[in-house]
C-alpha cells in the first residue's frame, strides 16, 4: 500500500461524525489541519486543500487534504490528494495553491527533503481532475539555487501561482540572512520558471520569515497578502507572534515599496490566509482559524482546527474590507428584527440566543461608555466582547469559555477613528467571528464551550439604544447535506 493509499484508507475508517463538528466551518475528517492550500474554482466547484496529518492531533509529515463545495458553506469531504512519497517531498508536501488550466487542475506546492542533513524546500507541481492528482516527473520546477546567494534554502515555501494574459507568475515566501521577504518568479508556460526579483521585504524587523504569500488585483489595485512570523506587538495594531497582513498597492503595478501593512484580523485565531477569484468576480479569502502558539482542541475532538468562514473582499478608502460570503444567508432559518432596543443593565433580548447564528447590532449613535456582549453564555461559561470608548479599545475575552490550557485569552485593538457603528457576529459550534463597521475590523476566536451554553447577553454602562437583525442558521440541514468519505 502506498503512502497515499494508506492515508485515504485511514481517513475513511476514522472520520469524525459531522454532527460532532462545526456546521459551516470547514474541518478535517480526522487528525491535524493547518494552512489552507489550493483555494480555487475547478469544474464548477470551489476546492479547498489543506495541510493535513490524518494520523494525529499534532503536526506531522504533511499531506494535502481536500474538500469541495458548491456554495462555500456545505463542504464535501474528498480523498487526500498528496502524500510525502517522492525523493523531493519525502519530508512533507507543504503549502501551495492551485489554478484551472486547459490540461487540468494544476497544484503547486512545496516539496521538503534533506540534503546533507539540512532541510531543503523547493516548489513542485501536480495535476489532476478534481479528485485524483499526479506529481510531475520534472519536479521540482523551482529550486532554491535559482535565487541569489544568501537567500535561505530551508525557508522557501508556500507558492502562489497565477496567470495574466500570456504570462505566468509565482510568489514564494522566503528570507535572507536577516528578514522575511517575498520572491517573485516568472514563466512563459507554467512549467519552466526563472527568478525575477524580491517583490517586498520586511522593514524594521517586521517578521523573520514571511509565509503564505498571495497576490491578486482588486478594484484597480494590486494586493499582496502574507503571514509574517515572530512579530513584536505594535501599539495594538499587530499582536505578538504570527500575523496575517495585507499590502494594498497604489496602482495595478506589482510595486509595494513604501506601502504600509494592514492587519487582516485582530483576534486570536487567524493565520495563512489565501484567496481565490470566483466566476462572478468576487475575491474571497479563507484562513486557518487557529494559532501555532495556542491551538485549542476540545477534549473529545478527534480532529484539530477549522477554517474561517470564507470572506468577500473589497476596498474602502484604501483599506481591505472583509464580509462573510453572501451564501451564508441562504441557510438562515429564522429572522428577528428589533428597532431601538434600550440596553443598560446586563440583559437578554427575547428570541436572541443560540450557537449557530448571524446577527448585526447597529448603534443609533456611537457608544460613549462601555458596551458589552457575552456570547456562548450560561451560569458557568461565556466569551465577552467589550467596547470601551474611554480607553479607545475593544477587547475580546475568552477566559471563561471552558479552556483548560494556559493559552492566550484576551486580545485588544484600537477603536476605529469613527467609533463603533456596527458589529456583526457569526457563531458556529466552536467559533466566534466579529465583523466591525461592515468588515473594517475583524476578530476571529475559537472557543471549546459546550453547545448547551447558548445565551447572548448585552450590557451598557450608560443607557443606549441598538437596532438588531438576528438570524439563526440551519445547522442540521447543512450537516445533512454534507458528503462524507466512502
Segment 36-48, tens digit of pLDDT: 999 999 999 999 9
pLDDT in tens, 362-404: 998 888 899 999 999 999 999 999 999 999 999 999 999 999 9
Query: Residue ranges of the domains in the chain?
Result: 3-324, 332-481
Task: Give the per-residue pLDDT at 297.
Answer: 84
Task: Give the per-residue pLDDT at 135.
Answer: 98
- At 250, the pLDDT band (50, 70, 90 cuts) reads confident
pLDDT in tens, 430-457: 999 999 999 999 999 999 999 999 999 9
Show the cell assigned to 274: 489565501
pLDDT in tens, 257-292: 899 999 999 999 999 999 999 999 999 999 999 999
pLDDT in tens, 170-201: 999 999 999 999 999 999 999 999 999 999 99
Q: How many residues does the chain have?
A: 486
Task: Give the per-residue pLDDT at 104.
Answer: 98
Average pLDDT of the residues of the chain: 96
To 5 degrees, how large is the angle CA 80–CA 84–CA 85?
105
Average pLDDT over residues 208-230: 96
Tell me the C-alpha to C-alpha distance, in Å, between residue 103 and each of 107, 160, 187, 352, 445: 12, 19, 17, 51, 40
Which of the residues are catalytic?
Answer: 35
Task: Give the per-residue pLDDT at 47.
Answer: 98
Task: Give the per-residue pLDDT at 366.
Answer: 82
Q: What is the DSSP letter of 220?
A: T
- At 313, the pLDDT band (50, 70, 90 cuts) reads very high
To 5 degrees, how large is the angle CA 302–CA 479–CA 279?
110
The class level of CATH for 3-324 reads: mainly beta
Whether the predicted model's global pTM rises above the 0.75 cut: yes
pLDDT in tens, 11-38: 999 999 999 999 999 999 999 999 999 9
* Right CATH for 332-481 from 3.40.30.10, 2.60.120.560, 3.90.78.10, 3.30.70.360: 2.60.120.560
Phi, psi (deg, nearest 5) at residue 3:
-60, -35
User: Which one, of 454, 70, 445, lies nearest residue 270 by Cα?
Assistant: 445
* CA quadruple 331, 332, 334, 336: dihedral, nearest 10: 180
- In angstroms, the CA 199 to CA 346 distance is 51
Amino acid at each position: 500500500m502506498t503512502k497515499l493509499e494508506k492515508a485515504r484508507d485511514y481517513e475513511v475508517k476514522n472520520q469524525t461524525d459531522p454532527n460532532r463538528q462545526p456546521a459551516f466551518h470547514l474541518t478535517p475528517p480526522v487528525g491535524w489541519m493547518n494552512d489552507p492550500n489550493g483555494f480555487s474554482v475547478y469544474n464548477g466547484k470551489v476546492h479547498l486543500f489543506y495541510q493535513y496529518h490524518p494520523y494525529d492531533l499534532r503536526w506531522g509529515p504533511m499531506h494535502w487534504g481536500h474538500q469541495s463545495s458548491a456554495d462555500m458553506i456545505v463542504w464535501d469531504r474528498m480523498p487526500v490528494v498528496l502524500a510525502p512519497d517522492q525523493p523531493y517531498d519525502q519530508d512533507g508536501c507543504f503549502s501551495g495553491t492551485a489554478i484551472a488550466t486547459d490540461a487540468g487542475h494544476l497544484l503547486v506546492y512545496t516539496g521538503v527533503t534533506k540534503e546533507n542533513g539540512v532541510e531543503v524546500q523547493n516548489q513542485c507541481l501536480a495535476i489532476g481532475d478534481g479528485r485524483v492528482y499526479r506529481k510531475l516527473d520534472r519536479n521540482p520546477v523551482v529550486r532554491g539555487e535559482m535565487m541569489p546567494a544568501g537567500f535561505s534554502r530551508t525557508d522557501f515555501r508556500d507558492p502562489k501561482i497565477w496567470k495574466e494574459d500570456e504570462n505566468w507568475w509565482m510568489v514564494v515566501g522566503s528570507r535572507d540572512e536577516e528578514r522575511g521577504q517575498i520572491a517573485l518568479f516568472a514563466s512563459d508556460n507554467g512549467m519552466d520558471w526563472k527568478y525575477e526579483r524580491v517583490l517586498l521585504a520586511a522593514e524594521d524587523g517586521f517578521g523573520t520569515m514571511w509565509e503564505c504569500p498571495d497576490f491578486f488585483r482588486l478594484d484597480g489595485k494590486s494586493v499582496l497578502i502574507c503571514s509574517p512570523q515572530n512579530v513584536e506587538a505594535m501599539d495594538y495594531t499587530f499582536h505578538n507572534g504570527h500575523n496575517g497582513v495585507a499590502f494594498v498597492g497604489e496602482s495595478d503595478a506589482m510595486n509595494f515599496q513604501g506601502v504600509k501593512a494592514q492587519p487582516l484580523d485582530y483576534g486570536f485565531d487567524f493565520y495563512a490566509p489565501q484567496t481565490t477569484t470566483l466566476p462572478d468576480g468576487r475575491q474571497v479569502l479563507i484562513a486557518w482559524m487557529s494559532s501555532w502558539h495556542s491551538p485549542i482542541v476540545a477534549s473529545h475532538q478527534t480532529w484539530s482546527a477549522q477554517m474561517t468562514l470564507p470572506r468577500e473582499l473589497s476596498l474602502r478608502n484604501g483599506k481591505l474590507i472583509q464580509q462573510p460570503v453572501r451564501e451564508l444567508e441562504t441557510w438562515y432559518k429564522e429572522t428577528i428584527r428589533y428597532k431601538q432596543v434600550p440596553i443598560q443593565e446586563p440583559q437578554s433580548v427575547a428570541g436572541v440566543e443560540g450557537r449557530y447564528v448571524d446577527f448585526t447590532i447597529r448603534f443609533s449613535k456611537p457608544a460613549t461608555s462601555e458596551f458589552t456582549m457575552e456570547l456562548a453564555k450560561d451560569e458557568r461559561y461565556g466569551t465577552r466582547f467589550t467596547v470601551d470608548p474611554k480607553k479607545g479599545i475593544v477587547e475580546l475575552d475568552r477566559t471563561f469559555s471552558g479552556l483548560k490550557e494556559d493559552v492566550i485569552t484576551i486580545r485588544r485593538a484600537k477603536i476605529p477613528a469613527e467609533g463603533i457603528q456596527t458589529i456583526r457576529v457569526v457563531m458556529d459550534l466552536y467559533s466566534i467571528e466579529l465583523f466591525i463597521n461592515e468588515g473594517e475590523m475583524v476578530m476571529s476566536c475559537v472557543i471549546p464551550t459546550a453547545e448547551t451554553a447558548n445565551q447572548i447577553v448585552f450590557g451598557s454602562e450608560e443607557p443606549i439604544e441598538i437596532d438588531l437583525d438576528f438570524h439563526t442558521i440551519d445547522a442540521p440541514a447543512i450537516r445533512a447535506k454534507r458528503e462524507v468519505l466512502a
